[in-house]
Amino acid sequence: MDHFSLYQRVNTACAKNKLDIGGADITFHTRFIANAAAIRALYTESYGYHDRSELLFDELLQTIIDAYIQRPAALQQRDTEKEKKDNWFLSNEITGMSLYVDRFCGRLSDLPGKLDHFTKLGVNLLHLMPLFQSPAGESDGGYAVSDFRQVDKRFGSLQDLIGLQQKMQSEDLYLMLDIVLNHTSHQHAWAVKAKAGDPVYQDYFYMYDNRTLPNRYEQAMPDIFPESSPGSFTYVQECDKWVMTVFHHYQWDLNYTNPAVFNAMLDTVLFYANLGVDILRIDAPAFIWKQLGTSCQNLPGAHTLLRLIKQCVQVAAPGVALLGEAIVAPAEIMKYFGTGSFTGQECDLAYNATQMALQWDALATGDIRVMLAAQPELLQKPFGSSWITYTRCHDDIGLGYDDSMIAAAGYDSYAHRRFLKEYYSGTYPGSPARGALFSVNPKTQDARISGSLASLCGLENAVEKNDPAEIALSIRKILLMQAQSFFIGGIPMLFYGDEAGYTNDYSYLNDPAKSYDNRWMHRPRIDWQKNARVDLKESVEERIFSATRQLIAIRKKMPVVADLANITWLTPHNIHIAGFLRTYGTQKLYCLFNFSNKPAYLTWYAFKEHKGAFTKLYDHWGQERHTIGPDHEYFVMEPYSFCLLEAVD
Ligand code: GLC
């Protein structure tokens, strides 16, 4: 379709909806026209072949217009303010926290009463873990959604969510929610109709009469949960068919080769946008496009759909940033920011899962060379996009970086990964970590790691031994890990409980709905009496909380920490010290992290490699001044210490 006819089609759709494209709705119309060609091209790439393609394209245009019409004025106003900031999410002033509302405080209506916890800490973005209806016992922590528009009763109501968002907005807090795009619960209305034999809804999923195609698919598809849910298909007795279930057997994969599925899910994306979501976390985007004979992950078709979603969101709700939760190999993750003419036009944010895992690697080995080997790849991130940086989240830690990165540090990749797994599951002699292996694949012995930040850093072990020196050491490790995530560029996302040193919670073992999934060991139930100890001087909770607060405060006052493609890694003068330089205008901040259990030495020359004549460094963390010495003398870092050194005259 040529551009003229396309623009006419957009104009006709606007006119049908009585939009005033020369007046009140001119900005929306301009955005629509600006993105129309991309929307059309991406749509055609995915659905051009489909017999109902044109009809459903008109439906898609209407979905965008409906969302715009329904977008509350306050959110439109917020869109305008964000647009003025130009990529508002790159700011150093944003720090987030992920939490389960029920485990944090009970219900949505209880959360407004807890907002001071965040304000006190300096957190101004909340990622509320899935809130929409999800069957108890078959919920995957809410990632098996049976109704995308109904808040699950155990959290409250949609009205509670809207009320909370309004309160948050009035207090300048940002909101992040999930859209579970890849699958629905088997109890979602579409799945229920498919089970009942409705062919229209069977086409919303990948359903097969027998095992022929499922077998062929499975030859190339890796298992995601090999222990609790092996294979990628589940037999559905009600209709005597096999359905694709990449994750758990109760999570049915949506069939995005069907444009009706895309339109329905885009409508949901825009529904969430209009609830006032600032960042929409797209769950498991790597999986949304399937193709026989492939791993069904990271396929070009998935990127086309994400780009299409991005273009549509930009038209209807331009203030909403998209976060792609793709926990994939370093080279693959970069593609989620868009490539070619769509560079910077796909997901605005992605998790820096590689860096997260590499921090755990460095903490166990005391050697930062694997981390360093990964940086050339990670620095490919396009300007204008950003990371979510983190040490822990609700999921496991996957050692998903490349073997070549391990080899570059001189290690054998198999033995190295085995060491890390043993170290963090506590089976390595002398390891203070208390974690567990998650999803061990019996065929490949691949495994990921579960455990809370504090337990993996040795706090659980140290508290049990009642050993003050070990407690102090584990707190140093916790802060080292957090500090690196806070200053490396991107939005730091704390995981609730970590700010107060919560260790593993083993009560999940007594709950049959959770006992098969040890990720629950690091999803704590907040004990507000324990949390009150953040005010008790010298308690473990207070030491961690106030240090975390201080880190956030330092970050907030330093524009040099905003994610503006302004990071340079230092040459490895010492294999224990991970160091990078952040620059902005004339401001320079050296961020140094000693991952070793021994003091580490850095020659003063390390500070002379980069342009700029300065003679002193001010450590914002240690609050002391250092004078740069002669090249052959040393700056000494204590075990597991870090410093945030600003170049000053
Ligand atoms: C994402 C979620 C994870 C969930 C999976 C399936 O990876 O973070 O918790 O199990 O998607 O929805």
Query: Which structural domain range is residue 61 located in?
Result: 1-70+259-348
Tell me, in angstroms, the distance from the centre of ligand 1 to residue 398's CA: 13
Is 14 within a domain?
yes
d(CA 94, CA 103): 24
The pLDDT score that the predictor gives to residue 612 is: 74
Per-residue burial over 306-334, b = 16 or more CB atoms within 10 Å of its CB, e = otherwise:
bbbbbbbbbbbbbbbbbbbbbbbbbeebb
If phi > 0 it is left, if psi is from -120 to 50 it is alpha, else beta; for residue 601 that is: beta
For residues 35-44, give the mean pLDDT.
98
pLDDT tens figures, 412-450 = 999 999 999 999 999 999 999 999 999 998 888 899 999
Any atom of ligand 1 within 6 Å of the Cβ of 253: no
Q: Are residues 51 and 126 in the same domain?
A: no
Mutation test residue for ligand 1: of 139, 143, 146, 448, the one with most atoms within 8 Å of CB? 143
Q: Which of 221, 253, 285 is the last residue of a domain?
A: 253
pTM higher than the cut 0.85: yes
Same domain? For 333 and 272 the reply is: yes
229: in domain? yes
Q: What's the maximum distance between 2 C-alpha atoms anywhere in the chain?
A: 79
Give the residue among 587, 456, 520, 482 at the shortest CA–CA distance from 121.
482
Domain end (from 316, 348, 380): 348
Question: Do 149 and 229 share a domain, yes or no?
Answer: no
Nearest by Cα to 333 from 398, 373, 403, 381: 381
> Is the domain of 244 the same as that of 264?
no
Confidence of residue 613 (pLDDT cuts 50, 70, 90): confident
* 517 carries an active-site annotation: no
128 - beta bridge partners? 99
In this structure, are residues 285 and 304 in contact, taking their beta carbons and an 8 Å threshold?
Answer: no
Q: Are residues 263 and 344 in the same domain?
A: yes
Pocket flag, ligand 1, residue 247 (CB < 6 Å)? yes
pLDDT tens-digit profile of 82-121?
A: 999 989 999 999 999 999 999 999 999 999 999 999 999 9
Catalytic option among 152, 160, 253, 325: 325
| Residues 60 and 98 reside in one and the same domain | no
Distances (CA, A) of 1 to 39, 48, 307, 626: 12, 11, 19, 65
Question: Would you say residue 467 lies in a domain?
Answer: no
247 and 263 in a single domain? The answer is no
One domain for residues 342 and 265: yes
Same domain, 271 and 331: yes
User: Is residue 210 assigned to a domain?
Assistant: yes
Is residue 639 domain-shared with residue 565, that is, in the same domain? yes
* Cβ-contact 452, 524 below 8 angstroms: yes
CB neighbour list of residue 60: distance below 8 Å, 6 or more residues apart: 39, 43, 259, 262, 263, 266, 312
The dihedrals phi and psi of 122, each to the nearest 5 degrees, come to 105, 10
Domain contains 513: no
Number of other CB atoms surrounding residue 639 within 10 Å: 17
In angstroms, how far is CA 118 from the centroid of its own chain? Answer: 19
The response to whether residue 141 sits with its C-beta less than 6 Å from ligand 1 reads yes
- Please write the tens of the pLDDT for every residue from 149-158: 999 999 999 9
Residue among 392, 395, 438, 519 to mutate when testing ligand 1 (max atoms within 8 A of CB): 395
Of 348, 374, 404, the last residue of a domain is 348
325 is catalytic: yes
Does 11 reside within a domain?
Answer: yes
C-alpha 356 to ligand 1 mean position (Å) = 17
From CA 115, how far away is CA 552, in angstroms rounded? 16
In a domain, 128, yes or no: yes
CATH of the domain at 194: 3.90.400.10
- The CA-to-CA distance between both ends of the chain, in Å, stands at 61
pLDDT of residue 511 exceeding 90: yes
Q: Helix crossing, 353-365 with 369-378: angle to 10°?
A: 170
Return the ligand 1 atom nearest residue 327 CA.
7
- Reported as type and span, the H/E element at residue 96 is strand 96-99
Q: Say yes or no: CB of residue 289 within 6 Å of ligand 1.
A: no
Query: Which token pair is 533?
Result: 């100890």
200 falls within a domain: yes
pLDDT greater than 90 at residue 1: no
Does residue 608 share a domain with residue 591? Answer: yes
User: Is 243 found in the same domain as 279?
Assistant: no
Write out pLDDT tens, residues 290-336: 999 999 999 999 999 999 999 999 999 999 999 999 999 999 999 99
Tell me the C-alpha distance between 354 and 483, whole Å.
Answer: 16
Q: Are 225 and 439 in contact (CB under 8 A)?
A: yes
DSSP code per residue over 535-597: GSTTSHHHHHHHHHHHHHHHHHT-GGGS-SS-EEEPP-SSTTEEEEEEEETTEEEEEEEE-SS
Query: How many whole angstroms from its chain centre is CA 573?
Result: 32
**Ligand 1 geometric centre to CA of 152 (Å):** 18
Per-residue pLDDT tens for 200-258?
999 999 999 999 999 999 999 999 999 889 999 999 999 999 999 999 999 999 999 99
517 lines ligand 1 (CB under 6 A): no
The count of domains in the chain is 4
Q: By alpha-carbon position, which residue is closest to atom 10 of ligand 1?
A: 140
